[in-house]
Chains A and B, each alone.
Chain A
Amino acid sequence: DGEGGPPVPAAPGRAQVFATVVDTFLEKLVAAGSYQRFANCYRCFYKLQPEMTRSIYDQFISQLQTSIKEEIQEVKDEGNLEVLFNSLDKIVEEAKNQEEPAWRPSGIPEEDVRSAMVPYLLKHRLYLRKILKEKEEENRKVAQSVLAGRDRIAELQQLIQARKHAWQ
């Protein structure tokens, strides 16, 4: 059997995109704040102390990157974003065959709560139907006994009448 070529790489997940986008931002920012530009702005100092200028610049850029990366990590940790991103990727993947726009909260709680209550009401209805049926069946049987009992009483009364007449 033939395999249809190399497997298509899955589209990058949200976590991946997030990391890439942040890295790109940082890269471009650092590129913008180049040493040339820095030295150019602090020209007089650069002329005086080129090595020091370089060292100060390196520290500045390094510290800026570190701070930005730390902040991003903090946001990820606080919001539990890794987990949420993966979870959302899965949910989106499962819905990929849905073309219609999905339900969204209407903003009116009374409207939205209906659907949430329906499963409970359906269960309740099922239960009521069941016990009603059982009760009806039970009553049918008791009704039969009652009718039989009435016949028996009539029969007894007849027997007694017969005895009575025999003694007259």
Chain B
Amino acid sequence: MSVNPMAYEAQFFGFTPQTCMLRVYIAFQDYLFEMMLVVESVILKKLDGFPDCKISAFQIRKSTEKFLLFMKERFDKLFSKMEEVLLQLVLNIPKNVLLPEDKVHEQYPYSREQFQALQDEIHQLQQQYRAEASAGQALRAELEEQKAVQAELEKILQWFDGLENICREHGTGNFKESFAFLTQNSKKLQDVLKDVEEKSKKIKKHDQLL
């Protein structure tokens, strides 16, 4: 027969019911013994007032023992009954009762696997967040670069537009066309110059041969 440690009750009351009962038993028993000793000493004292009576201290001690033995027996029986009732009805927590402080165990009865799955999920979410965060940083870095590049390109565009405005202001008509014509002409000139150089080289050669 195993002894019920009443640990759950101890959690609630702050003491083990059996310990409490034991303490009370010992206290009661002590009082009983104490009282009996007092009774005996009072009787003995009273007897001193009757010097010629034939009652000895030994007899009184015997009487005390007789009474105490009887009382102790009754006391043990009665206390045992009381203890049983208290442990079953008062200092106990029925099996179907869950203390409020333990509610989480009713609400979230997670097995080891379920708990592990939850932890894994959280770990994964953390990693995903980190990845998103660094992706965001990269995007913002490119955005900054783009701003710089756009600014440069717009500067160049503005320079071109500025050139057009100058030409328009000075009324040189289609400066673009004349500039283009000039560039083409200077190219033609360069080609002609090249031709002349080659021809003069040839002539010089002929002269030398002659």
Contact = CB atoms under 8 A, between A and B. Distances in A.
Interface string B71-99: 10011001101100110011001111111
A32 B71 contact: yes
Contacts, number: 220
A100 B94 CA distance: 11
Contacts of B106: 102-103
Of A44, A63, A122, chain B has the most CB atoms within 10 Å of the CB of A44
B157 interface: yes
Interface in B58-79: 59-60, 63-64, 66-67, 70-71, 74-75, 78-79
Contacts of B7: 105
A149 B143 contact: yes
Contact of A71 (B27, B63, B74, B90): B27
A63 B34 CA distance: 10
Given A98-B96, A156-B153, A159-B157, A149 B146 contact: yes
A31 B97 CA distance: 39
- Determine the main DSSP class of A at the interface with B: helix
A168 B169 CA distance: 21
Nearest to A155: B153
- Determine the main DSSP class of B at the interface with A: helix
Interface in A131-168: 131-132, 135-136, 138-139, 142-143, 145-146, 149-150, 152-153, 156-157, 159-160, 163, 166-168
Contacts of A42: 43, 60, 63-64, 67
B190 interface: no
Nearest to A14: B90
Given A43-B63, A64-B31, A48 B53 contact: yes
Interface string A65-88: 001100110010001010011001
| Chain B: interface size category | 35 or more
B128 interface: yes
Given A135-B136, A168-B180, A114 B112 contact: yes
Contact of A115 (B71, B96, B104, B139): B104
Interface in B114-164: 115, 118-119, 121-122, 125-126, 128-129, 132-133, 135-136, 139-140, 142-143, 146-147, 149-150, 153-154, 156-157, 160
A41 B62 CA distance: 9
Contact of B118 (A41, A79, A118, A139): A118
Nearest to A136: B132
A106 to B, nearest CB: 10
A121 interface: yes
B100 interface: yes
Contact of B50 (A48, A95, A99): A48
Nearest to A13: B90
B67 A41 contact: yes
Contacts of A117: 115
A45 B47 contact: yes
A75 B90 CA distance: 14
B167 to A, nearest CB: 11
Interface in A109-125: 111-112, 114-119, 121-122, 124-125
A164 to B, nearest CB: 8
A91 B94 CA distance: 10
A92 B97 contact: yes
Contacts of A49: 46
6 contacts: A17-B85, A21-B85, A33-B67, A37-B67, A45-B46, A48-B55
